[in-house]
Amino acid sequence: MKTYRKGYVAENQLVHMLYERGWAVMRAPRSGKISIPSPDIVAIKSGRVLIIEVKSRVAGFQIRKEQMNELAEYIERSGGEGYIALKLPYKGWKFIRFEDVLANGGNVGKKFLDEKSLDLEEVVSN
């Protein structure tokens, strides 16, 4: 399975998990981009807004500055909560608050992830 395809399947799974928990969900189009930046997933429930960027890789990596800026603007406009989501082998989905990743210079290392990451239930029941 190619990384692209793998990422798509993972994203789809997360969308369904949120849907099953009562969220209104939308995922960004893969193609036909409209020159306006958007995150991978937006989920809304009773006025609570989650802005989610999915990274289909293990820690550590760095999110490039341009993407961090685009996410920051989207979060600012919406007034929602930003998260970076990772699907880890054996551990499942982990979420890190966008502010934490921003404060860490866009870096998502293994130790950082261990310290800061949340499970899905922690995110949705916030």
Q: CA–CA distance from 54 to each of 40, 42, 62 (Å)? A: 6, 11, 13
Nearer to a second copy among residue 40 and residue 84 (C-beta): 40
Min dist CB 117 to a second copy, Å, is 25
Burial class (CB within 10 angstroms; exposed 0-12, middle 13-18, buried 19+) of 71: buried
Min dist CB 41 to a second copy, Å, is 9
Q: Could you tell me if 67 and 39 are in contact, meaning their C-beta atoms sit under 8 angstroms apart?
A: no
Residues contacting a second copy: total by CB under 8 A: 33
Per CB under 8 A, contacts with a second copy among 65-104 are: 74-75, 77-80
Q: Which of 21, 66, 9 is nearest to 48 (CA)?
A: 21
31 is catalytic: yes
Taking CB under 8 A as the rule, which mask of x and - marks residues 3-22 in contact with a second copy?
-----x---x--xx--x--x
The three-class DSSP label of residue 34 is coil
Nearer to a second copy among residue 31 and residue 126 (C-beta): 31
Those residues whose C-beta lies under 8 Å from the C-beta of residue 1, and which sit 6 or more positions away, are 9
Q: Does 1 bind a second copy (CB under 8 A)?
A: no
The three-class DSSP label of residue 39 is coil
Footprint of a second copy on this chain (CB under 8 A)? 8, 12, 15-16, 19, 22-32, 34, 36, 38-39, 42, 44-47, 49, 51, 74-75, 77-80
List, by residue number, the catalytic residues. 31
